[in-house]
Each structure stands twice: as C-alpha cells, then as structure tokens.
C-alpha cells in the first residue's frame, strides 16, 4: 500500500443534482473529529456541486463557525470564496494557540 492509499479515508458522498466534483480534503488538529474514523491529516474524498467554494465545503463538513483559520488549496492559501475544481487537494487548519 503506498502513501496515498494509506492516507485515503472514506468518501463522503452526496451527489448533487447533475454536475458534481470530487475534492480531496485533509482536516488537521481539532478539526479532524469532524471526519470520524480518520486521523488528523488523513484524506477524505468529498463530493461537491460543480463551482462550489471553500465556504461550501466548510458547510458540507459542518465545521464550526470560527473553527477554520487557514485553508490551503493545492498548497496555496485561499479565501473562503475561492471556487474549487475537481481533484483539488484541500487542507483545513483550525486556529492554534500557544504561548
């Protein structure tokens, strides 16, 4: 089993009427609990409607308001209104504290 197979988790399906796309999502730190059965940083495949945004993805995953600090799409930080494309790799991070 290679690294991508090992990290690939379950798929959340929910085809929308007509056109859809598949996004590869990794939730980190405390957000990982919103994808039960996956550890932090493991990949889940999520079906979204075509032209969905990062905000749509966050809503689909039912992440808490204020619980998302940084989102990377294909390795680059992107704003909530960023339109996703099929096959995008998305990493979502919560706010972190420290001292």
For the segment 44-71, the average pLDDT, to the nearest whole number, is 94
Q: Three-state secondary structure along the chain?
A: CCHHHHHEEEEECCCCCCCEEEEEEEECHHHHHHCCCCCCCCEEEEEEECCCEHHHHHHHCCCCCCCCCEEEECCEECCCCCECCCCCEEEEECCCCCC
Q: pTM of the predicted model, to two decimals?
A: 0.78
- Output DSSP code: residue 7: H
How big is the chain by its Cα radius of gyration, in Å?
13
The percentage of the chain sitting over the pLDDT mark of 90, rounded to a whole number, equals 67
pLDDT tens-place string over residues 17-56: 556 899 999 999 999 999 988 888 899 999 999 999 999 9
Q: Where are the alpha helices (DSSP H) in the chain?
A: 3-7, 54-60
| pLDDT of the residue at 32 | 92
| pLDDT of the residue at 40 | 84
pLDDT at 1 over 80: no
């Amino acid at each position: 089993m290679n690294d991508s197979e090992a990290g690939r988790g379950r798929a959340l399906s929910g085809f929308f009427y007509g056109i859809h796309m598949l996004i590869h999502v990794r939730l980190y730190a405390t957000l990982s609990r919103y994808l039960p059965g996956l550890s932090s940083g493991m990949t889940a495949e999520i079906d979204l409607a075509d032209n969905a945004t990062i905000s749509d993805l966050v809503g689909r995953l039912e992440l808490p308001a204020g619980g998302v600090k940084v989102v990377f799409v294909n390795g680059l930080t992107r704003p909530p209104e960023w339109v996703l494309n099929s096959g995008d790799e998305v990493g979502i991070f919560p706010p972190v504290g420290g001292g």
